[in-house]
Amino acid sequence: MSQADAQSDRYSGIVDDPHLNVVPRTPAEAERIAKVLAPPQDFTAPQRFEDLPGGAATVRVKPNADAFSQPSANLSFEDELNFKVGNGLFRKIWVSAPSSTLASDGLGPLYNARSCQRCHLKDGRGHPPEPDAENAVSMFLRVSIPDDAARIADIQDYLGTAPDPTYGTQLQDFALPGLPAEYRLQIDYEERAVTLADGTTVMLRDPTYTAADLGYGPLHPQAMLSPRVAPQMIGLGLLEAIPAADILALADPDDADGDGISGRPNVVWSDEFNRPMLGRFGLKAGAPTVLQQSAGAFAGDIGISNPLYRDPFGECSTIQDACRTAPHGDGDVREFEIDQEGLDLVVFYSRNLAVPARRDVGDPQVLRGKQVFYDTGCASCHQPSFVTSRLADRPEQSFQLIWPHTDMLLHDMGPGLADNRPEAVADGTEWRTAPLWGIGLTQQVSGHTLFLHDGRARSLLEAILWHGGEAQPARDRVVNMPKPDRDALVSYLESL
């Protein structure tokens, strides 16, 4: 039995895609796809279509902060109108209830932001609190406690956790008037030096996170906190359209091939389909679909009820009585604070935020960096390309050759990056491989170059040097390589 067959058998419960209306591939298409996705043998020229990371949905790069805010290039005129309406809802500022603005009330009572856009700034990355930052902070702490009773029998290796009895699953740093916020995020950094083989010294920031000024008493003694910076939004619909079988074929949880890479899928419970599914979205791949991720963000980040998460008080726990009994925006013609139509429009917008075209793909420095990327082992986790499913009802994402540079799997990233907080199957040292497309435009879009799940890395080189666990050998090769190769590697990443 091949490794791909073994993984399909091991993960047979999540190998299908209930969220997609898939037209099965023909044997001829599968053979052609295998050839297209084969690793390059020639690094003197770009691969065909490498400059179009989002396939036919790719857009030209805008020379301003709107580079991540464009619709898929292959949207119809009618769907571009739907995209724009979804954008309006994504940017909408929610207000407290009761309000004369019935379509926009229901904020909180506890919340992290008043709109989706306030976290995903210009549809790009958020950032932690910085002394000289001009933009709003878009970071919070997830929280949970160990609880074996919360294991899900249908999901093998599911790690039982439960919400903190007072603070739920997420700490909110804002509240409506008359209520205390749950906390204030405090970050303390300790600088440490890493010396590269050529004598270059790079300073890394080692963060300590504190939930300060707790508004509702102490956290549970076993509370586990995990910092999260809002990720960029581009290409989500394309990632959602990758066949689960193709992702699972890359999994090697027992390192059967002996290469030191043990990627494995996160298997999560779908509240949308009431069954286990492959986790795709979130920093630990804790959500299976764009819809569930969006609905969860409305409830947890803004306190907005919706057809999937119906509580009008968002994340308020049973202990937070004043929060649960505060006025809310449910009960009018919408039924929920955002109804199914509104949620679907936000999901459509999120699926169709286009990936900008690559830059300088034929530049000799970039091509040299691409070879270094492969030789160093980066492509073992940052899988360069996939072909999406052929879809009967989503032509924008259907049968596209895409270049996200992620395998969508969980990897042990070592103790330095560990948050020590499980999420579904993911343990406290594992993170989903972050997609790299668009990473070179971070400064242009977000006004900073802060990377990793909590923004601790101030440059791409710092981000690489934080890699540990399965990525330790690749990280050490970067430490020991000559400076011209290291510079070329960074140039390649900046071209993505």
Closest to 298 (Cα-Cα) out of 315, 277, 275, 323? 315
pLDDT tier, 294 (very low <50, low <70, confident <90, very high otherwise): very high
pLDDT tier, 136 (very low <50, low <70, confident <90, very high otherwise): low
Per-residue pLDDT, 6: 55
- In 10 A of CB 147, how many CB atoms? 13
Taking only the tens place, the pLDDT of each residue in 138-164 is 899 999 999 999 999 889 899 999 999
Taking only the tens place, the pLDDT of each residue in 210-248 is 999 999 999 999 999 999 999 999 999 999 999 999 999
Share of the chain above pLDDT 70, in %: 96
**Dihedral over Cα of 405, 408, 414, 415: its sign:** positive
Taking only the tens place, the pLDDT of each residue in 390-442 is 999 999 999 999 999 999 999 999 999 999 999 999 999 999 999 999 999 99
Determine the average pLDDT of the residues in 438-455: 96
**Please, are residues 458 and 369 in contact by the beta-carbon 8 Å criterion?**
no
Contact residues for 220 (Cβ-Cβ < 8 A; gap 6+):
145, 164, 165, 166
Closest to 68 (Cα-Cα) out of 107, 120, 28? 120
d(CA 417, CA 35): 36
pLDDT > 60? residue 135:
no
pLDDT tier, 1 (very low <50, low <70, confident <90, very high otherwise): very low
Taking only the tens place, the pLDDT of each residue in 18-48 is 999 999 999 999 999 999 999 999 999 999 9
CA 477 to each of CA 376, 413, 450, 483: distance values in angstroms, whole numbers, following the listed order: 6, 16, 23, 12
pLDDT > 80? residue 131:
no
Per-residue pLDDT, 4: 52
- Residue 216 corresponds to which amino acid? Y
Share of the chain above pLDDT 90, in %: 88
Taking only the tens place, the pLDDT of each residue in 305-363 is 999 999 999 989 999 999 999 988 877 667 899 999 999 999 999 999 999 999 999 99
**Please, are residues 250 and 242 in contact by the beta-carbon 8 Å criterion?**
no
Residue with tokens 């494995």: 264
Per-residue pLDDT, 101: 80
How buried is 319 (Cβ within 10 angstroms: 0-12 exposed, 13-18 middle, 19+ buried)? middle
**At CA 91, angle to CA 101 and CA 54, rounded to 5?**
150
**Please, are residues 110 and 314 in contact by the beta-carbon 8 Å criterion?**
yes
d(CA 352, CA 402): 14
Per-residue pLDDT, 328: 86
**Dihedral over Cα of 406, 412, 418, 420: its sign:** positive
pTM across the whole model: 0.96
Domain boundaries, the chain: 3-495
Closest to 438 (Cα-Cα) out of 148, 296, 238? 238
Tokens standing for 212? 């300060």
Determine the average pLDDT of the residues in 245-256: 95
**Please, are residues 264 and 157 in contact by the beta-carbon 8 Å criterion?**
no
- In 10 A of CB 185, how many CB atoms? 20
| Distance, first Cα to last Cα, the chain | 36
My answer on whether omega of the bond before 98 falls inside 30° of 0, hence cis, is yes
d(CA 42, CA 368): 11
Tokens standing for 283? 């920093």
**Please, are residues 365 and 44 in contact by the beta-carbon 8 Å criterion?**
no
